[in-house]
Structure 1
Amino acid sequence: MSGRIITARHGRPNLARDVKITAREYGDWWARYDASGLHPDEEPPAPLVELAAGAKTVLSSTLPRAIETARDVTLGRRKVPADPIFVEAPLPPPPIPFLRLSPGQWGVLSRLFWILGYAPAGVENHWQTWRRVGEIARRLTGLAEEGDVLLCAHGYLNWMIDRRLRREGWRRTGREGGNRYWSWRVYEPACARAPARTAAAAAE
Protein backbone atom coordinates (compact mmCIF):
# COMPACT_ATOMS: atom_id res chain seq x y z
CA MET A 1 0.00 0.00 0.00
CA SER A 2 1.26 3.47 -0.85
CA GLY A 3 2.36 5.84 1.86
CA ARG A 4 1.14 9.35 2.49
CA ILE A 5 2.27 12.63 0.97
CA ILE A 6 2.85 15.45 3.46
CA THR A 7 3.57 19.03 2.40
CA ALA A 8 4.83 21.54 4.96
CA ARG A 9 5.44 25.27 4.76
CA HIS A 10 8.72 26.57 6.11
CA GLY A 11 9.09 28.38 9.43
CA ARG A 12 9.28 32.16 9.88
CA PRO A 13 12.25 33.70 8.01
CA ASN A 14 14.64 36.09 9.72
CA LEU A 15 13.52 39.25 7.91
CA ALA A 16 11.42 42.22 9.10
CA ARG A 17 8.05 42.76 7.42
CA ASP A 18 6.98 45.98 9.18
CA VAL A 19 8.22 48.38 6.48
CA LYS A 20 6.61 50.45 3.73
CA ILE A 21 8.35 50.09 0.38
CA THR A 22 7.87 50.67 -3.34
CA ALA A 23 7.41 47.90 -5.89
CA ARG A 24 11.07 48.21 -6.91
CA GLU A 25 12.13 47.98 -3.29
CA TYR A 26 9.84 44.98 -2.85
CA GLY A 27 11.86 43.19 -5.52
CA ASP A 28 14.98 43.74 -3.42
CA TRP A 29 13.12 42.75 -0.25
CA TRP A 30 11.92 39.50 -1.84
CA ALA A 31 15.46 38.67 -2.94
CA ARG A 32 16.60 39.07 0.68
CA TYR A 33 13.64 36.94 1.79
CA ASP A 34 14.76 34.16 -0.55
CA ALA A 35 18.30 34.40 0.80
CA SER A 36 17.32 34.41 4.48
CA GLY A 37 17.15 31.45 6.80
CA LEU A 38 14.81 30.95 9.73
CA HIS A 39 14.50 33.37 12.61
CA PRO A 40 16.65 32.12 15.53
CA ASP A 41 13.60 31.88 17.79
CA GLU A 42 11.79 29.43 15.51
CA GLU A 43 11.07 25.88 16.69
CA PRO A 44 9.19 23.21 14.74
CA PRO A 45 5.85 21.95 16.10
CA ALA A 46 6.14 18.55 17.77
CA PRO A 47 3.47 16.92 15.53
CA LEU A 48 5.42 17.92 12.43
CA VAL A 49 8.59 16.48 13.93
CA GLU A 50 6.68 13.23 14.47
CA LEU A 51 5.49 13.20 10.87
CA ALA A 52 9.08 13.70 9.70
CA ALA A 53 10.31 10.88 11.93
CA GLY A 54 7.83 8.49 10.31
CA ALA A 55 8.57 9.56 6.74
CA LYS A 56 10.54 7.28 4.47
CA THR A 57 11.62 10.31 2.42
CA VAL A 58 12.07 13.97 3.39
CA LEU A 59 12.72 16.61 0.71
CA SER A 60 13.07 20.37 0.55
CA SER A 61 13.40 23.21 -1.89
CA THR A 62 16.82 24.77 -2.36
CA LEU A 63 15.91 28.03 -0.59
CA PRO A 64 17.53 28.46 2.85
CA ARG A 65 14.24 28.79 4.77
CA ALA A 66 13.06 25.43 3.42
CA ILE A 67 16.41 23.71 3.93
CA GLU A 68 16.55 24.88 7.55
CA THR A 69 12.94 23.83 8.10
CA ALA A 70 13.76 20.32 6.88
CA ARG A 71 16.82 20.26 9.13
CA ASP A 72 14.77 21.31 12.16
CA VAL A 73 11.85 18.91 11.65
CA THR A 74 14.30 16.00 11.25
CA LEU A 75 16.30 17.23 14.27
CA GLY A 76 19.37 17.26 12.04
CA ARG A 77 19.50 13.47 12.10
CA ARG A 78 19.23 12.79 8.38
CA LYS A 79 20.42 14.20 5.11
CA VAL A 80 17.59 15.90 3.24
CA PRO A 81 17.93 16.26 -0.55
CA ALA A 82 17.10 19.77 -1.83
CA ASP A 83 15.84 20.35 -5.36
CA PRO A 84 15.02 23.63 -7.19
CA ILE A 85 11.85 22.05 -8.59
CA PHE A 86 10.33 22.70 -5.16
CA VAL A 87 11.07 26.45 -4.93
CA GLU A 88 8.21 28.90 -4.47
CA ALA A 89 6.09 30.14 -7.38
CA PRO A 90 7.49 33.47 -8.63
CA LEU A 91 6.42 36.80 -7.15
CA PRO A 92 7.63 39.43 -9.64
CA PRO A 93 6.95 42.99 -8.38
CA PRO A 94 4.10 44.52 -10.41
CA PRO A 95 4.76 47.58 -12.61
CA ILE A 96 3.17 50.05 -10.20
CA PRO A 97 5.25 53.20 -9.54
CA PHE A 98 5.29 55.47 -6.48
CA LEU A 99 2.94 53.42 -4.27
CA ARG A 100 4.38 52.38 -0.91
CA LEU A 101 2.99 49.26 0.76
CA SER A 102 4.04 46.59 3.24
CA PRO A 103 5.76 43.44 1.90
CA GLY A 104 2.62 41.46 2.65
CA GLN A 105 0.46 43.82 0.61
CA TRP A 106 2.94 43.76 -2.26
CA GLY A 107 2.89 39.98 -2.07
CA VAL A 108 -0.88 39.92 -2.64
CA LEU A 109 -0.65 42.36 -5.55
CA SER A 110 2.33 40.56 -7.08
CA ARG A 111 0.56 37.22 -6.91
CA LEU A 112 -2.57 38.70 -8.51
CA PHE A 113 -0.60 40.28 -11.36
CA TRP A 114 1.32 37.03 -11.89
CA ILE A 115 -1.85 34.91 -11.99
CA LEU A 116 -3.29 37.34 -14.54
CA GLY A 117 -0.26 36.81 -16.77
CA TYR A 118 2.41 39.28 -15.67
CA ALA A 119 5.84 37.62 -15.88
CA PRO A 120 8.89 39.65 -16.99
CA ALA A 121 11.45 38.04 -19.27
CA GLY A 122 13.19 35.15 -17.56
CA VAL A 123 10.47 34.68 -14.93
CA GLU A 124 8.45 31.48 -14.86
CA ASN A 125 4.83 32.27 -15.75
CA HIS A 126 1.68 30.87 -14.18
CA TRP A 127 1.18 28.14 -16.78
CA GLN A 128 4.83 27.06 -16.56
CA THR A 129 4.56 26.78 -12.78
CA TRP A 130 1.48 24.57 -13.10
CA ARG A 131 3.46 22.36 -15.44
CA ARG A 132 6.22 22.18 -12.82
CA VAL A 133 3.62 21.29 -10.18
CA GLY A 134 2.50 18.41 -12.38
CA GLU A 135 6.04 17.04 -12.35
CA ILE A 136 6.23 17.56 -8.57
CA ALA A 137 3.00 15.58 -8.10
CA ARG A 138 4.35 12.73 -10.22
CA ARG A 139 7.59 12.68 -8.27
CA LEU A 140 5.88 12.71 -4.87
CA THR A 141 3.43 10.01 -5.97
CA GLY A 142 6.31 7.80 -7.09
CA LEU A 143 8.18 8.27 -3.82
CA ALA A 144 5.03 7.57 -1.81
CA GLU A 145 5.00 4.04 -3.23
CA GLU A 146 7.88 3.32 -0.83
CA GLY A 147 6.32 4.99 2.23
CA ASP A 148 5.42 8.40 3.63
CA VAL A 149 7.10 11.37 1.94
CA LEU A 150 7.42 14.83 3.50
CA LEU A 151 8.13 17.91 1.39
CA CYS A 152 9.32 21.10 3.12
CA ALA A 153 8.49 23.87 0.68
CA HIS A 154 6.47 27.07 0.39
CA GLY A 155 3.00 28.48 0.90
CA TYR A 156 1.63 29.13 -2.57
CA LEU A 157 3.48 26.23 -4.18
CA ASN A 158 1.99 23.89 -1.57
CA TRP A 159 -1.46 25.30 -2.38
CA MET A 160 -0.88 24.48 -6.04
CA ILE A 161 0.32 20.97 -5.13
CA ASP A 162 -2.83 20.56 -3.05
CA ARG A 163 -5.03 21.28 -6.07
CA ARG A 164 -3.06 18.92 -8.29
CA LEU A 165 -2.98 15.99 -5.87
CA ARG A 166 -6.69 16.23 -5.12
CA ARG A 167 -7.47 16.41 -8.83
CA GLU A 168 -5.49 13.20 -9.29
CA GLY A 169 -7.48 11.37 -6.64
CA TRP A 170 -5.46 11.92 -3.47
CA ARG A 171 -7.56 12.67 -0.41
CA ARG A 172 -6.51 15.40 1.99
CA THR A 173 -6.94 13.69 5.35
CA GLY A 174 -5.21 16.17 7.61
CA ARG A 175 -4.40 19.85 7.78
CA GLU A 176 -2.84 22.00 10.47
CA GLY A 177 -2.07 25.72 10.60
CA GLY A 178 -3.94 26.83 7.49
CA ASN A 179 -1.27 28.40 5.30
CA ARG A 180 0.82 29.88 8.10
CA TYR A 181 4.47 29.17 8.86
CA TRP A 182 5.02 25.54 9.91
CA SER A 183 1.60 24.55 8.52
CA TRP A 184 1.17 21.17 6.84
CA ARG A 185 -1.26 19.02 4.86
CA VAL A 186 -1.51 15.23 4.73
CA TYR A 187 -2.77 13.26 1.71
CA GLU A 188 -3.64 9.60 1.29
CA PRO A 189 -4.23 7.74 -1.96
CA ALA A 190 -7.83 7.04 -2.92
CA CYS A 191 -7.26 3.31 -2.36
CA ALA A 192 -6.65 4.03 1.34
CA ARG A 193 -10.38 4.37 1.97
CA ALA A 194 -11.91 2.16 4.65
CA PRO A 195 -12.68 -1.31 3.19
CA ALA A 196 -16.24 -1.88 2.04
CA ARG A 197 -18.41 -4.10 4.23
CA THR A 198 -18.88 -7.64 3.01
CA ALA A 199 -22.32 -9.01 2.25
CA ALA A 200 -22.10 -11.26 5.30
CA ALA A 201 -21.20 -8.35 7.55
CA ALA A 202 -24.02 -6.27 6.13
CA ALA A 203 -26.48 -9.04 6.93
CA GLU A 204 -25.52 -9.17 10.60
Structure 2
Amino acid sequence: MADVSADQLSPAARPGVITLARHGEPALSRKVRLNAPEYGDWWARYEVGGLKEGQVPPPGLLELAKSADVIIASTRPRSIETARAVVGDRAFATDPTFIEAPLPPPPWPLWIRMSPKRLGFFARFWWWFFDNHGGQETRKAAEARADQAADLLIELSDSGQDVLVLAHGFFNWMIANALKKRGLSKLTDQGHGYWSIKRFRRA
Protein backbone atom coordinates (compact mmCIF):
# COMPACT_ATOMS: atom_id res chain seq x y z
CA MET A 1 0.00 0.00 0.00
CA ALA A 2 1.33 3.45 -0.88
CA ASP A 3 2.22 5.83 1.94
CA VAL A 4 -0.30 8.60 2.58
CA SER A 5 0.98 12.01 3.67
CA ALA A 6 -0.76 14.07 6.36
CA ASP A 7 -1.88 16.56 3.71
CA GLN A 8 -3.76 13.80 1.89
CA LEU A 9 -5.81 12.76 4.89
CA SER A 10 -9.42 13.86 5.09
CA PRO A 11 -10.11 16.76 7.47
CA ALA A 12 -11.90 14.38 9.84
CA ALA A 13 -8.84 12.15 10.06
CA ARG A 14 -6.21 14.84 10.62
CA PRO A 15 -6.07 16.67 13.97
CA GLY A 16 -7.07 20.30 13.85
CA VAL A 17 -5.09 23.25 15.21
CA ILE A 18 -5.73 24.72 18.66
CA THR A 19 -5.24 28.49 18.87
CA LEU A 20 -5.12 30.24 22.25
CA ALA A 21 -5.55 34.02 21.91
CA ARG A 22 -5.36 36.63 24.63
CA HIS A 23 -8.06 39.29 24.86
CA GLY A 24 -7.60 42.88 23.74
CA GLU A 25 -6.54 45.74 26.01
CA PRO A 26 -9.02 46.30 28.87
CA ALA A 27 -10.56 49.71 29.51
CA LEU A 28 -9.54 49.93 33.17
CA SER A 29 -6.51 52.20 33.52
CA ARG A 30 -3.24 50.88 34.90
CA LYS A 31 -1.89 54.39 35.44
CA VAL A 32 -2.46 54.35 39.20
CA ARG A 33 -0.48 53.37 42.27
CA LEU A 34 -2.12 51.01 44.74
CA ASN A 35 -1.45 49.18 47.98
CA ALA A 36 -2.34 45.49 48.27
CA PRO A 37 -5.99 45.83 49.42
CA GLU A 38 -6.60 48.53 46.79
CA TYR A 39 -5.16 46.18 44.20
CA GLY A 40 -7.70 43.55 45.28
CA ASP A 41 -10.48 46.06 44.56
CA TRP A 42 -8.84 47.07 41.27
CA TRP A 43 -8.62 43.44 40.14
CA ALA A 44 -12.29 42.87 40.98
CA ARG A 45 -13.20 45.79 38.70
CA TYR A 46 -10.84 44.46 36.02
CA GLU A 47 -12.62 41.09 36.09
CA VAL A 48 -16.02 42.61 35.31
CA GLY A 49 -14.81 45.26 32.86
CA GLY A 50 -14.68 45.29 29.09
CA LEU A 51 -12.24 46.45 26.43
CA LYS A 52 -10.79 49.86 25.77
CA GLU A 53 -12.57 51.48 22.84
CA GLY A 54 -11.09 51.93 19.39
CA GLN A 55 -9.10 48.68 19.13
CA VAL A 56 -8.85 46.65 15.96
CA PRO A 57 -7.86 42.95 16.16
CA PRO A 58 -4.69 41.97 14.25
CA PRO A 59 -5.35 40.83 10.65
CA GLY A 60 -3.75 37.45 11.33
CA LEU A 61 -6.15 36.74 14.18
CA LEU A 62 -9.12 37.76 12.04
CA GLU A 63 -8.00 35.34 9.34
CA LEU A 64 -7.63 32.49 11.85
CA ALA A 65 -11.14 33.17 13.11
CA LYS A 66 -12.56 32.83 9.60
CA SER A 67 -11.25 29.29 9.30
CA ALA A 68 -11.97 28.18 12.89
CA ASP A 69 -14.58 25.45 13.25
CA VAL A 70 -15.10 26.02 16.99
CA ILE A 71 -14.76 29.37 18.78
CA ILE A 72 -14.78 29.61 22.58
CA ALA A 73 -14.58 32.64 24.87
CA SER A 74 -14.38 32.71 28.63
CA THR A 75 -17.35 34.20 30.47
CA ARG A 76 -15.50 37.42 31.39
CA PRO A 77 -16.65 40.59 29.57
CA ARG A 78 -13.20 41.38 28.16
CA SER A 79 -13.06 37.92 26.62
CA ILE A 80 -16.59 38.09 25.20
CA GLU A 81 -15.97 41.55 23.72
CA THR A 82 -12.75 40.26 22.19
CA ALA A 83 -14.62 37.37 20.60
CA ARG A 84 -17.23 39.72 19.16
CA ALA A 85 -14.51 41.95 17.72
CA VAL A 86 -12.75 38.98 16.15
CA VAL A 87 -15.60 36.84 14.83
CA GLY A 88 -18.20 39.46 13.95
CA ASP A 89 -21.70 38.00 13.65
CA ARG A 90 -20.59 34.38 13.96
CA ALA A 91 -21.83 32.42 16.93
CA PHE A 92 -19.34 31.38 19.61
CA ALA A 93 -19.49 29.43 22.84
CA THR A 94 -18.70 30.79 26.30
CA ASP A 95 -17.24 28.57 28.99
CA PRO A 96 -16.14 29.48 32.55
CA THR A 97 -13.46 26.79 32.32
CA PHE A 98 -11.35 29.38 30.46
CA ILE A 99 -11.54 32.31 32.90
CA GLU A 100 -8.29 33.78 34.19
CA ALA A 101 -6.52 32.30 37.20
CA PRO A 102 -7.11 34.56 40.23
CA LEU A 103 -4.76 37.27 41.41
CA PRO A 104 -5.26 37.72 45.17
CA PRO A 105 -3.22 40.66 46.49
CA PRO A 106 0.06 39.75 48.20
CA PRO A 107 0.15 39.96 52.02
CA TRP A 108 2.03 43.26 52.16
CA PRO A 109 1.92 46.27 54.51
CA LEU A 110 -0.28 49.16 53.40
CA TRP A 111 2.61 51.56 52.82
CA ILE A 112 3.88 49.58 49.83
CA ARG A 113 2.32 51.08 46.70
CA MET A 114 2.92 50.05 43.09
CA SER A 115 1.33 50.09 39.68
CA PRO A 116 -1.26 47.35 38.98
CA LYS A 117 1.17 45.79 36.51
CA ARG A 118 3.90 45.36 39.12
CA LEU A 119 1.50 44.34 41.85
CA GLY A 120 -0.01 41.80 39.48
CA PHE A 121 3.42 40.27 38.95
CA PHE A 122 3.99 39.88 42.71
CA ALA A 123 0.42 38.69 43.28
CA ARG A 124 0.99 35.95 40.72
CA PHE A 125 4.33 35.07 42.34
CA TRP A 126 2.75 34.72 45.81
CA TRP A 127 -0.18 32.74 44.40
CA TRP A 128 2.04 30.38 42.40
CA PHE A 129 4.85 29.72 44.88
CA PHE A 130 3.31 30.38 48.31
CA ASP A 131 -0.32 29.33 47.75
CA ASN A 132 -1.57 32.80 48.64
CA HIS A 133 -5.12 32.34 47.36
CA GLY A 134 -7.14 34.36 49.86
CA GLY A 135 -10.03 31.93 49.67
CA GLN A 136 -10.07 32.02 45.87
CA GLU A 137 -8.98 29.27 43.48
CA THR A 138 -5.68 27.65 44.45
CA ARG A 139 -2.84 26.92 42.07
CA LYS A 140 -3.60 23.19 42.32
CA ALA A 141 -7.25 23.76 41.43
CA ALA A 142 -6.30 26.06 38.54
CA GLU A 143 -3.88 23.45 37.20
CA ALA A 144 -6.66 20.87 37.30
CA ARG A 145 -8.89 23.31 35.42
CA ALA A 146 -6.16 23.87 32.82
CA ASP A 147 -5.92 20.09 32.38
CA GLN A 148 -9.69 19.95 31.90
CA ALA A 149 -9.52 22.73 29.31
CA ALA A 150 -6.67 21.04 27.46
CA ASP A 151 -8.54 17.73 27.33
CA LEU A 152 -11.62 19.45 25.91
CA LEU A 153 -9.59 21.25 23.24
CA ILE A 154 -7.74 18.06 22.28
CA GLU A 155 -11.03 16.17 21.98
CA LEU A 156 -12.33 18.85 19.61
CA SER A 157 -9.15 19.08 17.56
CA ASP A 158 -8.73 15.30 17.33
CA SER A 159 -12.06 15.23 15.49
CA GLY A 160 -10.45 17.38 12.79
CA GLN A 161 -11.75 20.74 13.96
CA ASP A 162 -9.68 23.92 14.22
CA VAL A 163 -10.40 25.51 17.60
CA LEU A 164 -9.96 29.16 18.57
CA VAL A 165 -10.02 30.17 22.25
CA LEU A 166 -10.28 33.87 23.10
CA ALA A 167 -9.39 34.13 26.76
CA HIS A 168 -6.64 35.26 29.14
CA GLY A 169 -2.88 35.57 29.24
CA PHE A 170 -1.77 33.53 32.23
CA PHE A 171 -4.41 30.84 32.05
CA ASN A 172 -3.73 30.43 28.33
CA TRP A 173 -0.11 29.82 29.33
CA MET A 174 -1.27 27.16 31.80
CA ILE A 175 -3.37 25.49 29.09
CA ALA A 176 -0.40 25.64 26.72
CA ASN A 177 1.72 23.77 29.27
CA ALA A 178 -1.00 21.14 29.63
CA LEU A 179 -1.16 20.73 25.85
CA LYS A 180 2.62 20.29 25.62
CA LYS A 181 2.54 17.67 28.39
CA ARG A 182 0.01 15.78 26.30
CA GLY A 183 2.38 15.67 23.36
CA LEU A 184 1.08 18.51 21.17
CA SER A 185 3.59 20.52 19.18
CA LYS A 186 3.76 24.29 19.38
CA LEU A 187 3.36 25.91 15.97
CA THR A 188 3.29 29.60 16.97
CA ASP A 189 4.02 31.60 20.11
CA GLN A 190 3.57 35.38 20.04
CA GLY A 191 4.21 35.87 23.75
CA HIS A 192 1.75 37.28 26.28
CA GLY A 193 0.68 40.66 24.86
CA TYR A 194 -2.88 41.67 24.12
CA TRP A 195 -4.31 39.88 21.04
CA SER A 196 -1.30 37.50 21.00
CA ILE A 197 -1.71 33.84 20.02
CA LYS A 198 -0.24 30.44 20.71
CA ARG A 199 -1.01 27.56 18.31
CA PHE A 200 -0.74 23.81 18.84
CA ARG A 201 -1.37 20.62 16.89
CA ARG A 202 -0.92 16.96 17.65
CA ALA A 203 2.11 15.69 15.71
Both proteins in one fold, TM over 0.5: yes
Which of 25, 33, 51 in structure 2 is aligned with 1:12? 25
Tell whether 2:168 aligns with 1:154.
yes
Which of 107, 130, 135 in structure 1 is aligned with 2:143? 130
Tell whether 2:97 aligns with 1:85.
yes
Task: Map residues 1-204 of structure 1 onto 2, 5 A cutoff.
Answer: 1-75=14-88, 77-98=89-110, 99-116=112-129, 117-121=131-135, 123-144=136-157, 145-176=159-190, 178-190=191-203
SS at match of 1:185: strand
The residue type equivalent to 2:52 in the other structure is: H
Cα distance between partner residues in 2 of 1:105 and 1:169: 34
Q: Structure 1 residue 25: deviation in Å?
A: 0.5
Cα distance between partner residues in 2 of 1:41 and 1:173: 30
Conserved 8 A contact 1:56-1:146: no
Q: Structure 1 residue 107: deviation in Å?
A: 0.2
TM-score (norm 2): 0.90
Cα distance between partner residues in 2 of 1:93 and 1:141: 33
Conserved 8 A contact 1:19-1:102: yes
Please list every run of 5 or more consecutive structure 1 residues that lacks an aligned counterpart in the other structure: 191-204
Q: Structure 1 residue 175: deviation in Å?
A: 2.3
Cα distance between partner residues in 1 of 2:132 and 2:188: 34
Match of 1:197 in 2: none
The residue type equivalent to 1:92 in the other structure is: P
The residue type equivalent to 2:181 in the other structure is: R
Figure out how many residues of one structure are paired with residues of the other and give that number. 187
Q: Deviations over 1:102-161 (max 9, x none)?
A: 00011011001001211122x110011000011000100111124100000100001111
Cα distance between partner residues in 1 of 2:85 and 2:99: 18
Runs (4+) of structure 1 exceeding 2 A deviation are none
Q: Structure 1 residue 58: deviation in Å?
A: 0.2
